[in-house]
Amino acid sequence: MDESQPDQSGATTPDSYEAAVERLEEIIDRLDSGQAGLRETLDLCKEGKELVTYCAGELDEVGEGLKELRLDDLATKLDTASEVG
């Protein structure tokens, strides 16, 4: 069992959604195996919940409403901003 203590800042943010899901699947597999001790199980559950929260946040970002932008408009805004600047 890993007896190391989590750092003060808590879990690190995953690099990407797929990395988070991959780690989450590893955690579920480990928990399903029944080989994890109590401390490891609790640590994995904590990490897994953080990953679930992260993934839910990522899904929320692309689930709230489609935003349609035009490249021409963005270029115009950029030009205007640079002129003002």
Partner 1 sequence: MEESRLTPAPASSQGPNFPGPFAVGTYARKLQGWMRERARVQLIGEVTGVGRSKVQAYFELRDSEGAVPCAIWLNDLEKAGLDGGSLRDGAEVVISGGLDYYPGGGQASPNFCFRATHVRLAGEGDLIARLEALRKQMRAEGLFELQKQLHRPVLPKAIGVVTAERGAARRDLLAGLERRGWRGSLIWGFAPVQDRHAAPAIGRALQDLAARPEVEAIVVTRGGGSLADLWAFCDETLCRTVAMLRVPVVSAVGHERDSTLIDDVAAVACSTPTHAAEAAVPLDCLAARESLERCALSLRRAGEGAVETRSRHLGALARGPARALQRERGKLNQKIREIRAAAERGLTERVASQRRIGTLVLERARRRAAGADMEKRREALKRAAVALRAHEPERTLERGYALVEGDGGEPLTSAAETGAAERISLRFSDGRVSARPERRDDA
Q: Does 1 bind partner 1 (CB under 8 A)?
A: no
For the four alpha carbons of 47, 52, 58 and 60, in that order, the dihedral sign comes to negative
Which residue in this structure is represented by tokens 């990395």?
19
Q: Which of 44, 38, 47 has the alpha carbon at shortest distance from 13?
A: 47
Binding track, positions 21-60, relative to partner 1; x by CB under 8 A = ---x--xx--xx---x-x--xx-xx--xx--x--xx-xx-
Q: Which of 6, 10, 74, 81 binds partner 1 (CB under 8 A)?
A: 74
Task: Give long-range contacts, CB 8 A cutoff, 24+ apart: 65-69.
Answer: none
Q: Which residues contribute to the site for partner 1 (CB under 8 A)?
A: 16-18, 24, 27-28, 31-32, 36, 38, 41-42, 44-45, 48-49, 52, 55-56, 58-59, 61-72, 74-75
